Amino acid sequence: MPESLPSQPDPEEAPSVPAFTPPIPWLAAGMDEEEAELTMGVGLLVREAALLEYTLHGLLVHLAGAPRAYAYEAGGTGSFFAKRCIESLKAMNEDRVPSASREALLEVLERCKEQFESRHRFVHGHLELDHESQQWLTLKGRRGKGARHAEVRFTTSSEPWELAAGFHWLQEKVLWWDIKLFGEPGDPDEGEPAYVSMKRKRAGSKSRPATKPL
């Protein structure tokens, strides 16, 4: 895997960014450009992280052989799903997932865990502007024994955007592996690619898939 995650696709023309009027204007009143950038970045971060979480759950369903996808570990989080995928993958026989594929997928899943930990600083922490340095601070409580002090660190308004791009990249990687290892033929009449990833609602029936071609 590359050391850094891509943050910007390379289209022939720059994509247009939508302008909008806030539904509740007073909540955005007084924001400068940097704070608006930070706020929108956190929203994108949450959205991309949720998509990766959903895709990881689908992979876990296949790795665990669960017959009822939406009832299996339904209350889990992204970090939990990545951890359980790693455990299930390590316990699998060679005939189900070859060692070369196993190592590559494990690397992706470990990266997922790290990415969710980085997300927590913005989703479960507090953001405030340090007026003396004119920099943003994230304040996040620590977990575990001996965690007596909060984590305080400087950040930039672009960091949530970079994390969101990382989640987007990881989601595509996880979905690619899900299709490669457990994909099923798509329905050309429905405009689906040759293989798709499917969650199983119950034995003998299938949910509508989220798909990407191999």
The pLDDT, as a whole number, for residue 202 is: 33
Distance, CA of 79 to CA of 103 (rounded, Å) = 19
Distance, CA of 114 to CA of 129 (rounded, Å) = 25
Q: What is the pTM of this model?
A: 0.81
The identity of residue 93, as a single letter, is N
pLDDT tens digits for range 24-58: 999 989 888 888 899 999 999 999 999 999 999 99
Mean pLDDT, the chain cut into blocks of 10 residues (214 residues total): 55 76 91 89 95 94 81 85 94 84 94 93 85 83 63 86 95 93 81 70 41 46
Tokens 């199983």 belong to 200
The pLDDT, as a whole number, for residue 214 is: 43
The pLDDT, as a whole number, for residue 209 is: 46
The pLDDT, as a whole number, for residue 45 is: 96
CB 200 within 8 A of CB 207: yes
- Give the CA-trace dihedral at 81, 83, 84, 86, to 10 degrees: 120
CB 169 within 8 A of CB 194: no
3-state secondary structure of 207: coil
DSSP assignment letter at 208 = P
